[in-house]
Amino acid sequence: MEINAREKDDVVIFDIEGEIRRSDISDLTLHQLVKDQLDTGKRNILLNFQNVEFIDSFGVGEVLASYISTNNLGGKLKIAKISKKLYLVFQVTMLTKVLEIFDEEDMALDSFEKE
């Protein structure tokens, strides 16, 4: 898994590539990268899943932990460009009831401005 961060307006966008799974544990997890941005005062986080091929229960936990940390600080965490296969995983785990998921990055970015 590779994660690159970029900013657009006041939103930090994490472009995630590969598989979000336990075997990919490195020094920095997705949750830690999100927490690092929160520590700098950033409160709007967008996870771009366009190039994510697979997510296991560890990865689902990372997304949920990132959402909780962001929400606890009054921020918003949203997801864009998730595949149908991964969306099904989010449905089964009920994350679709918690997370805002958008088909396109621009739609997700616009939703931050409306809040």
pLDDT, one tens digit per residue, over 66-85 is 999 999 999 999 999 999 99
Q: Which domains, from first to last, does the chain contain?
A: 2-113 (3.30.750.24)
pTM of the predicted model over 0.75: yes
Residue 55's pLDDT is what? 94
Instruction: Give the H or E element holding residue 3.
Output: strand 2-8
pLDDT reading at 112 higher than 90: yes
pLDDT, one tens digit per residue, over 12-65 is 999 999 988 887 555 678 999 999 999 999 999 999 999 999 999 999 999 999
Residue 25's pLDDT is what? 56
Residue 27's pLDDT is what? 61
Q: Please identify which residue in the block is written with the tokens 């970029």.
A: 6
